[in-house]
């Protein structure tokens, strides 16, 4: 099954399409408050190191 992510909807994870709350996007997202990874598709260690903001994080690969 193909996953369709609505690029116009800031409330979805760009990595997996899951709903991402605005507080999560504000704290962990990029400067536009977009999340590229979320707890559903990445580890908290990587999220706290910037993966949700779209940064390339090498440590603690989730998958």
pTM for the full model? 0.79
Query: What CA–CA distance (Å, rounded) separates 7 from 63?
Result: 24
Domains of the chain by residue range: 9-55
pLDDT higher than threshold 90 for residue 54: yes
CB 37 within 8 A of CB 52: yes
DSSP secondary structure letters along 10-42: TTB-TTT--B--HHHHHHHS-TT---S--TTTS
**pLDDT tens digits, 11-51:** 999 999 999 999 999 999 999 999 999 999 999 999 999 99
């Amino acid at each position: 099954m193909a996953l369709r992510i609505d690029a116009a909807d800031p409330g979805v994870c760009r990595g997996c399409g899951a709903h991402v709350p605005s507080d999560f996007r504000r704290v962990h997202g990029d400067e536009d408050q977009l999340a590229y990874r979320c707890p559903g598709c990445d580890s908290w260690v990587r999220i706290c190191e910037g993966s949700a903001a779209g940064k390339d994080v090498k440590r603690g690969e989730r998958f």
